[in-house]
Structure 1
Amino acid sequence: MVHASSIALGILCGPLVCVYVTFAACFCPSRLRQSGESDEKKRFERRQKMAPRPLVLHRQRALSIPLPDTECMNEGRKTLDQSQSRLMRLPLELREMIYRNVLGDNTLHMILKEQKLGHLRCKASNALECPLRYNGRTLGRESCWGPVDSANIWAPKSGINEPTDGNIIPFLRTCRQVYSEAINFLYSTNVFSFQDLDCLRHFSATVLPKRFNLVKKLDIEWYMTWPIYDPTAQQLLLNNPALYPPYDEATWEETWRIIANLPSLKFLRVSLLYYDGFQDPACEKKILAPLYKVTQAPVFEVRVSWDGREITGAPFRLIRPVPNDPTADDDSW
């Protein structure tokens, strides 16, 4: 009798087990490796180790011009008179035009480095012409971003010594007066481009709030990892946690809280890629819900890689793929 019950149970449960194994093997093969640490955990631990340290707010900046009542506290620093400089003899309006030409009106691709951030000037004439590619885990513009390792940390090939400051930092370090007069143009006139949510979060934590609040233009590209906002599928993965940052719901929502608090934001473009379309519109609704908090940007565009219904009442313009578009490239989405 017991033997017969076991056979019957096997007949009933066998197909379910096969479906689960097949589904996991197709869409998430790494989840089937239960022995040892998962690749996701290793990548998360490396990213934590390499994360930039948050800015110390109550520290006098080395490039800041000391105030008169703090000169005695900064005896180790000297601010020299720059009246002999031809640049400083120009009217402030002309100097500001020069600063903007040197520092601004570019797209800066923000990258994660070892315990710090870097930025690369986009090599295209504008952000729309920068080629978009998917490298297997994240969205990337290889022609501008350069190579990254499995943890999305910038990793140039042997023999390549490409600077990651966009050739901007040396100019700002020429003298304190140039820094004080020019630094605002760096944040207020450039498009800051991100392909990693942690990179944006670190950026907000490693610059002065008054500088970060000057940012007017953001361009974000992000690969949505399965099964975000799908608790049933997360339980099937048998991992704890099911999703590691920055691919989890908490990081996604925190990113949009940061963006929603940018007072000067004028332009925001978001490109989201998912390995497949959403069968359940409720999942899409949860993913897009944090974006509704961003109401200050006059231009707010969200491009997604999946089909679905039109939405109304959103503070952004949702752009879905055009079906059977003969002008679309094979790699476009």
Structure 2
Amino acid sequence: MKKSPDIRPDFKLCRPDPSFPSDGPQLKRPSYTRMAVYYVMFYGIFIPLVSPILLVAGINSFIEQKRRDREHDKDPQTILCRERRRKEERREKLFRKRRVAHKPRSLPKRRLRSLSLLQEGRGSLLSKFKPKTLKDTVVKPSFLLAKLPPDVRTQIWEYVLGGYAISLYRGPGRLYHLLHDDEDDDDDLKEQEQDLKQPDFSRKVGKTNLLALAKVCRQVYIEAISILYTKNTFLLYQNDTLFDLKNTTLPFRFSSIRSLKLHWQFRNQETFERDISGTLSRHVSTPWDVQTWKSACTILSQLPALENLSVNIQGPFLFSQNVDDMLEELRVVNNVKGEFRVKAPWSRIVHLARDDGMDWRLEHKGFPFRVRRPEVVFPDLDEGVWLFGEDALGPSGEEPYSYSRDLEGYLYML
């Protein structure tokens, strides 16, 4: 039997094999010379002709863009926005520096000497002290104070130390205060805010005027110091002040506060914005982020003696839903025995769309507080009320920057 020819299955680029059947198609070797000619024509003729055209077009586009940039830089609105941005950066840098430098020192875990009188009801603690320590702890009755009954002395202490609105703000390494008449108005202490920016030193203000009586002797301190926390209203205008007050006050003194007015600011309109996964924005710096706000609400919920609480919220907020999310965090503050008011700002979208149904939605949310809104539907502006005291002055001594002064530029950017 005749053997069939060996047919190779691979198709290599080679010359025809005599043993291969001639009835099929034959693959030809590519011409490398022709390919070299194509490369020379493309890179040697076409590219040199097209490259200058593309280069000239790119140069013209660059020159035109530079011309537009120069015209844009000369625009009054651009100059206004650039100046505002520079002031913002300078103010932010100043605030960061002073926030670290002016942070009050926390109370030590244990004092070397107790200011308050040890009570005998605490057990046999008095017997554990040495005679010298016991001498410093026990109060000797004053002959002058013994002439007055306790209820009369209490009325005197309340008249001197009570009935004030005490504005607290940060100073170099400690908290300072200013005194105001405790008048509960509906303007949310605008007058007090102005006093903090431009204090009137003809009035009795400062850290020694209020505590001078309590420093007379230990008996007066023991009888009068509680009035400072129970008969006054504390005004906190900085986001850090609530935490500073808690860290620099004895826990049982801080828990005895009955009236508090808190001003809280969110400086970024994207603070309560969420991404696709529902996660809050994380690029907002402290103390204007959501986590700091939650911590503040937790502290407020831990004040058992709180009778009156007023929270003034300052934006900006972009959407009405952001305001709702912010107010939801205040639900944990359900320990207020008296009036609980919250002043919430208008969002920017509400201002543009005139959405008047915002108040109705807030009233039917079931919040443990009464929500108040500004009478004028206007986007909330940064007035710089978070900078008071020495922080209210810029690097060259000027007042803090305010958006309201550049209202035209602000609306231009909306």
Letter in 2 for 1:54: S
**Equivalent residue, structure 1, for 2:167:** 109
| Alignment of structure 1 residues 1-333 onto 2, 5 Å | 39-65=91-117, 68-69=126-127, 70-72=129-131, 74=133, 77=136, 81-85=140-144, 87-123=145-181, 126-128=183-185, 132-133=189-190, 141-143=193-195, 145-147=196-198, 163-165=205-207, 167-231=209-273, 242-275=283-316, 278-298=317-337, 299-306=339-346, 308-310=358-360, 311=362, 312-323=365-376
Task: Give the Cα separation in 2 of the matches to 1:314 and 1:166.
Answer: 40
| Cα separation, 2, equivalents of 1:42 and 1:76 | 48
Partner Cα distance (2:115, 2:187) in 1:
34
d(CA) in 1 for partners of 2:197, 2:257: 24
Cα 1:190–1:132 change in 2 (3 A) is: closer
Shift of 1:57: 3.3
- What CA distance in whole angstroms lies between the structure 2 residues aligned with 1:222 and 1:49? 21
Superposed CA offset, 1:134-179 (max 9, x none): 9xxxxx6122x244xxxxxxxx79x999752262211111111111
Code of the residue aligned with 2:222 in structure 1: it is S
Unaligned 5+ runs, structure 1? 8-17, 135-139, 148-155, 234-239, 325-330
C-alpha contact (below 8 Å) 2:270/2:318 kept by paired residues: no
2:394 match: none
Q: In structure 2, the residue corresponding to 1:167 is in which secondary structure?
A: helix
Deviations 1:61-119 (CA, angstroms, capped at 9, x unpaired):
4533367433536279476633411x232221221111111111211111211110112
The percentage of aligned residue pairs carrying the same residue is 26
Structure 2's unaligned 5+ residue stretches are: 1-49, 62-71, 119-124, 276-280, 351-357, 378-403, 405-414
Question: 2: distance between equivalents of 1:63 and 1:84?
Answer: 20
**CA gap 1:226/1:57 in 2 versus in 1, 3 angstroms:** same
Aligned match of 2:399: none
Task: Give the alignment's Cα RMSD to 1 decimal.
Answer: 4.0
Residue 224 of structure 1 and its aligned partner are, at CA, apart by 2.5
Distance change in 2, residues 1:241/1:232 (3 Å) = closer
How far, CA to CA, are the matches of 2:221 and 2:134 in structure 1? 20
How far off is 1:126 after superposition?
A: 1.1
The alignment's TM-score, normalised by the length of structure 1, stands at 0.71
Equivalent in the alignment of 1:237: none
Relative to the length of structure 2, the TM-score reads 0.58
Q: Secondary structure at the residue paired with 1:93? A: helix
Code of the aligned partner of 2:286: P
Larger Rg: 2
Distance 1:92 1:195, change over 3 A: same
Tell which deviates more after alignment, 253-262 or 279-288. Answer: 279-288
Contact 1:229 1:287 in 2 (8 A): no
1:24–1:31 CA contact under 8 A, matched in 2: no
Aligned mates of 2:288, 2:91 — CA distance in 1: 13
Aligned length: 288
